[in-house]
A = this chain, B = another copy of it.
Amino acid sequence: MNNVAIIGPGAVGSTIAFDLRDASLNVKLLGRRNETLHYYSNNALDTKYQLDVCALNEYHETVDFLFITVKIPQLDTVLTSYQHLLHKNTIIILAQNGHGQLHKFDHPYVYQAVVYISGQKTGNTITHYRDHKLILDQNAHTQALHQCISNSSLNIELTTDIDNAIWYKLLVNLAINSVTALTRSTASVLEVPGIKKLCEQLLLEGINIAKAEHVHFEPNIVNTILNIYDGYPAEMGTSMYYDIVDGRSLEIDGIQGYLFYKARKHHLNTPILDTIYHLLLAQQK
């Protein structure tokens, strides 16, 4: 039986742990301390589950598959304290928003997942809203993982164009996270005159950066993303909105900052991104 560990008992990590219960795997959810979480799956508030979290520094098995699901601001801390979980063939899945963090690993088998799992953690209660999907590069390692979890409700989708999947999610996050965080508003901010236009302009800058990185999108991608935004409930907050309102660190290094430095590398003119990035950077904890 394969050993699987998940570092990061937030909404994403808890959902992966919960979804893998039924697979024939030895699954451990790891965090800063031993604790028990309450978990609601698929927004069904009538059934409360318990999830046990084990302290990372008290778990001494090595694992075959390791999911790291902490947000970017916590990644550096995890990277100083997780080596004891690894054997030489451990496969690591980095399941977090944003991009540009893989170079921080010195382990050979690390893959960026594009995460489509939505939920929220409040205190020690996690409410999973919807989706169970991770998109990964298709290769021998991820196929092995796919095989192992095939009996579970976690949906791993393998793609031959992971860059496209990563950049698509990056762009979707870029505009809505920026405007909600900087205005400290939920998705209702899209109704303010000029804000949708601002999203559009910011997305155009992002698509230009993607192109310079050889990631090409259809011309109507901007409309596709704006249509996704139109489908958001007005009261929906984004991850970066909740982080700024609650005074937590922001994931800007992997989203706006990642794009800002790529734009500099390619000598692109991105005045809106530059403005937004620095206004957020000034509020980084």
A residues near B, CB below 8 A?
Answer: 179, 182-185, 189, 192-195, 197-198, 201, 271-272, 274-279, 281-283
Contact = CB atoms under 8 A, between A and B. Distances in A.
B272 A195 contact: no
B195 A278 contact: yes
A282 B192 contact: yes
A278 B194 contact: yes
A275 B272 contact: yes
Nearest to A193: B281
A226 to B, nearest CB: 15
Output the residue of A189, A276, A282 with the most chain B CB within 10 A: A282
Given A185-B283, A189-B282, A194-B277, 17 more contacts: A179-B279, A182-B182, A183-B279, A183-B282, A184-B283, A192-B281, A195-B278, A197-B278, A198-B274, A198-B275, A198-B278, A201-B271, A201-B274, A271-B272, A272-B275, A275-B276, A279-B279
A99 to B, nearest CB: 21
Contacts of A282: 179, 183, 185, 189, 192, 195
Contacts of A274: 194, 198, 201, 272
A192 B283 CA distance: 9
